[in-house]
Amino acid sequence: MTRPRILVVDDEPNIVDMVTTVLEFHDFEMSSAATAAEAYAAAHTHRPDLVVLDVMLPDGDGFEVCRTLRRSLPRVGIVLLTAKDAHSERVAGLTFGADDYVTKPFNIDELLARVRAVLRRILPEAPEQEPQDTLLRFADVELDEQACTVQRAGHPVSLSRTEFELLRYLMLNRGRVLSRGQIIDAVWSADYTGGSNIVDTYIGYLRRKLGAFGPNLIQTQRGFGYVLRTYGDT
């Protein structure tokens, strides 16, 4: 199997050197960029599986880089490096399509765990020997696991990779109340060390995007978690 390709985008040489050295040791194929312009060129040349992206770049906004990369490379994983305790930066990054974030100054082991967790979600697994039905349906929502597309009532719904994985997990467990811990383990993996409120944030994103074409399907079970069902179901 080919090694996963990682692009590090940061204008601090010491951070680039540290991240590159450690991830190369763990068998990742590395490339780097120090500016937004270099990031676009490197992404086009190296076609990375994942980008570690600083939100503060000398020639542009890292959030705009995130959004542009998400449009041009929809399957790429993106882990943002954000300022310590800057809640607005983390929310903005997730809104622009990032899969996860790490706050500066960060522990390299935490970054490695986040990178591995995102790659587990996005890299294709070995193909099945027999064709499988990849279409999940619930109410008027259709999710195609192979094409990574979602429709509701015939309308395409644009989701980030994490939103897609969250909806997929809810659809696979339709009618079952899922705790925040269960959702984190399935969508963010057991390596995730952030707060459980990330689940509430992404549930809000899904409700808003799916709600543009129909009634809410994601119900809150107070004290327990969330469940995917119509309000007529019990």
Reported as a single tens digit per residue, the pLDDT across 202-230 is: 999 999 999 999 999 999 988 889 999 87
CATH assignment of the domain containing 206: 1.10.10.10
Q: What is the pLDDT of residue 193?
A: 61
Question: Does residue 54 sit in the same domain as residue 141?
Answer: no
Q: What is the pLDDT of residue 161?
A: 84
- Residue 233 resides in a domain: no
- Residue range of the domain that includes 222: 135-228
When pLDDT is averaged across residues 116-145 and rounded to a whole number, the result is 76
pLDDT digits (tens, 9 = 90+) for 144-200: 987 889 999 999 999 988 899 899 989 988 888 888 888 887 787 655 666 678 899
Radius of gyration, CA atoms only, the chain? 18
Residue type, 33: A
Task: Tell me how far apart the terminal alpha carbons of the chain are, to the nearest angstrom.
Answer: 47
Question: Does residue 139 sit in the same domain as residue 219?
Answer: yes
- Residue 163 resides in a domain: yes
pLDDT digits (tens, 9 = 90+) for 66-93: 889 988 888 899 998 887 555 665 566 5
Distance of alpha carbon 136 from alpha carbon 168, whole angstroms? 8
Question: Does residue 142 sit in the same domain as residue 110?
Answer: no
Instruction: Report the chain's mean pLDDT, rounded to a whole number.
Output: 85
Higher per-residue pLDDT: 125 or 159: 159
- Whether pLDDT at 126 is above 60: no
Q: Render 56-115 in DSSP notation, one character per residue.
A: EETTEEHHHHHHHHHHH-TT-EEEEEE-TT-HHHHHHHHHTT-SEEEESS--HHHHHHHH
- Residue 73 resides in a domain: yes
- Residue that the structure tokens 């978690």 belong to: 225
Task: Provide the domain count of the chain.
Answer: 2
Question: Does residue 111 sit in the same domain as residue 140?
Answer: no
The whole model's pTM is what?
0.55
Residue at a domain's end among 122, 157, 174: 122
